């Protein structure tokens, strides 16, 4: 709702005004990546988070990081719609790849908090549960 107000030209504060200036300067950006990121953050706000499938992991990684790749396009000089359309898949993939690295790096502490971003179906197929992830020794290769 706040993003819609912002897009309509009614920022609530200085941060909104700065974002509106950026959106006007880079109209190819649009609100989509911001709304998608907020959806990912809302889904992540639950006390316990578990990703059921690789498809769900891809969607989550898009929402919280693929969107960052999209937001970077204007900063990287990709501005016109034809170039944005061509660069979009790579920007999303870059963000998702960085998020997957983050997930792997934080798998143990996240699991200790009841947050497992590794696909549950794949973990089950390999006979791995959250307790096994928590028990991983930091010195393991």
Q: For residue range 74-132, what is the model confidence (pLDDT) as tens digits?
A: 889 998 888 989 999 999 999 999 999 999 999 999 988 888 999 999 999 999 988 88
Same domain, 39 and 2: no
For residue 87, count other CB atoms closer than 10 A to its CB: 18
Residues 51, 117 contacting (CB under 8 angstroms): yes
Same domain, 36 and 96: yes
CA distance linking residue 79 with residue 57, whole number of Å: 29
Give the model's pLDDT for residue 48: 73
- Parent domain of 55: 31-134
Same domain, 99 and 68: yes
Q: Domain for residue 15, yes or no?
A: yes
Q: Domain for residue 96, yes or no?
A: yes
Q: Domain for residue 140, yes or no?
A: no
Q: How many domains does the chain have?
A: 2
Same domain, 42 and 75: yes
Across the chain, what does the average pLDDT equal?
A: 90
Q: Domain for residue 139, yes or no?
A: no
Dihedral angle at the C-alpha atoms of 86, 7, 57, 41, nearest 10 degrees? Answer: 150
| Percent of the chain that is helix, strand, coil (3-state, to 5) | 65, 5, 30
Residue 98 phi/psi, 5-degree rounding, is: -65, -40
Dihedral angle at the C-alpha atoms of 47, 31, 100, 111, nearest 10 degrees? Answer: 0
Same domain, 59 and 127: yes
CATH number for 38: 1.10.600.10
Residues 57, 117 contacting (CB under 8 angstroms): yes
């Amino acid at each position: 709702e706040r993003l819609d107000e912002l897009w309509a030209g009614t920022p609530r504060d200085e941060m909104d005004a700065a974002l509106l200036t950026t959106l006007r300067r880079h109209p190819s950006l649009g609100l989509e990546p911001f709304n998608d990121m907020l959806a990912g953050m809302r889904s992540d706000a639950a006390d316990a988070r578990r990703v059921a499938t690789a498809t769900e992991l891809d969607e989550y990684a898009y929402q919280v990081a693929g969107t960052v790749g999209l937001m970077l396009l204007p900063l990287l000089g990709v501005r016109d719609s034809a170039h944005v359309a061509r660069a979009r898949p790579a920007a999303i993939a870059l963000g998702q790849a960085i998020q997957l690295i983050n997930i792997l790096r934080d798998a143990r502490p996240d699991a200790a908090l009841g947050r497992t971003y590794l696909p549950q179906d794949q973990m089950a197929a390999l006979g791995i549960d959250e307790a096994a992830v928590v028990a991983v020794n930091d010195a393991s290769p």
